Structure 1
Amino acid sequence: MSTPLVGLTAYREQAAWGVWRQAADVLPAQYARAVEAVGGLPVLLPPVAQVGAAEAVVARLDALVVSGGADVDPARYGETPHARTAGWRPDRDAWELALLDAAEARGLPVLGVCRGMQLMAVHAGGVLDQHTPELVGHEQHSPGGDAFGRVEVATVPGTRTASLVGEALTVACHHHQSVRTHPGYVATARADDGTVEAMELPGDRFCLAVQWHPETAEDVGLLAGLVRAAAHPT
């Protein structure tokens, strides 16, 4: 088949470049570069409110990456916002949930990254812990600013996650929230402090999510696995 087309969900933010200061659809270039490096063709998917847009987009994709970003609106999982929960984007929540609905209906391969994992858990009916440092007693998962925390992760033997990244690895994290419950998914990796760092759907479909950022490091196993699944659908 032709090069797999991989959709990457994107931010809509105020941005500055050259002489311009205006709303822009953006995503760190590392995502697209990482997809290209493992044989995929990246395309950005900014929030769209048009009815039927998600289904139309997914019909043209071979795989979907739900990217990192802002906190998920706590109303989506029936919780009151924590004092540290802020900046959620209703347009992006709605768009990505619609994309996940359409991807599920088609059996499309999906990879969630950081916020993407949290949104996938919420999409399945799960609940988030809104400020993980209160649970684990440290800020290692998100040290602040634009820095990534370095977290040791152990995977569950026999899972798709383990087959792609090995039994243990050090990952780049930037999340102050985490997944508390994940109906239908199996937890496939945890940090030393017990935080769920990866989950996947059982079965043949590639539907996997991680709290870390595989696009930032030498580890391309997850994205390579996604592109292989897109090139050889079950």
Structure 2
Amino acid sequence: MKRVAVSQRVDLHPERGESRDALDQRLIDFLLAAGFIPLPVPNGLFDAGLEHWLAAVSPQALLLSGGNDIGQCLARDLTETRLLDHARSRNLPVLGICRGMQMLGHWAGSELKAVSGHVRTRHRLSGEIVAEVNSYHSQSLASCPQDFEVLARSEDGEIEAIRHLSRLWEGWMWHPERETDFASHDIQRIRQLFGETDSTQTTQGTDVS
């Protein structure tokens, strides 16, 4: 099973004086269902610390998770920027989910814009990816990042999925881990992106296309 480095959100607990890294356990379940080993990345391992961590665990792919707005937590922003630099230098496949897709765009020089009607709802996608997906975001890419192409748009024309023109990098604005039963098209797509896994691995998925 391939090892996937997974970035984490930052949750602040001022009543305890704590800043905690956090990851939805359903995202772990989604990666396991697809046949991958998730490796949560600590925030705050800057420069040499993060390089030592990457050298020790040797991830074979990178997933940028959802949660937090860009600019809300400097430690996470810096960590994900360095992870993308590492993925580029090692030619690793990358998937960005929701904020993760926004970070891909931000890293590539795109700006974000506010959108309405995309929080706690579902909508249809059109384009290369045709499916009904969940939606939990209040910001979207203002334009397609340089060296990327648009894979799917929502019914109101917002960018919902992107793909790099030469690298195995994709961004999805929906959360595959938040489906009651993981959608088969999400499982199949992440397997194609990260590389085929053990054929004996089983999944539970429902095609919603």
Alignment match, 1:132? 115
Alignment match, 1:212? 174
1:184 and 1:229 map into 2 onto residues whose CA distance is 25
1:151 aligns with 2:123: yes
1:38 pairs with one of 12, 34, 39: 34
1:223 aligns with 2:190: yes
- C-alpha displacement at 1:23, in angstroms? 3.7
1:185 aligns with 2:157: no
Identity rate, percent: 29
- C-alpha displacement at 1:149, in angstroms? 1.4
Q: Which amino acid aligns with 1:32?
A: I
Q: For residues 110-159 of structure 1, what are the alpha-carbon distances to aligned partners after superposition, in whole Å with 9 as ceiling and x for unaligned?
A: 00000000111010111111x112xxxxx2x11xxxxx310111123xxx
* Residue pair 1:206, 1:229 contacting (<8 A) in 2 also: no
TM-score normalised by L of structure 1: 0.74
- The runs of 5 or more residues in structure 1 that have no matched partner are 74-87, 134-138, 143-147, 157-161, 163-167
Q: Which amino acid aligns with 1:132?
A: V
* Residue pair 2:10, 2:73 contacting (<8 A) in 1 also: no
2:171 and 2:102 map into 1 onto residues whose CA distance is 8
Quick one: structure 1 residues 102 and 188, their matched pair in 2 at CA, closer, same or farther if it must change by over 3 Å? Answer: same
Q: Secondary structure at the match of 1:126?
A: coil
1:62 aligns with 2:45: no
Alignment match, 1:84? none
Quick one: structure 1 residues 98 and 112, their matched pair in 2 at CA, closer, same or farther if it must change by over 3 Å? Answer: same
2:197 and 2:9 map into 1 onto residues whose CA distance is 24
Q: Secondary structure at the match of 1:151?
A: strand
Alignment match, 1:47? 43
**What is the alpha-carbon root mean square deviation over aligned residues?**
2.1
TM-score normalised by L of structure 2: 0.82
* Residue pair 1:186, 1:199 contacting (<8 A) in 2 also: yes
- The runs of 5 or more residues in structure 2 that have no matched partner are 199-209
Quick one: structure 1 residues 117 and 229, their matched pair in 2 at CA, closer, same or farther if it must change by over 3 Å? Answer: farther
- C-alpha displacement at 1:58, in angstroms? 4.1
1:222 and 1:21 map into 2 onto residues whose CA distance is 40
2:150 and 2:111 map into 1 onto residues whose CA distance is 14
2:138 pairs with one of 163, 176, 185: 176
Alignment match, 2:8? 10
Alignment match, 1:120? 104
1:24 aligns with 2:20: yes
Q: Which amino acid aligns with 2:147?
A: G
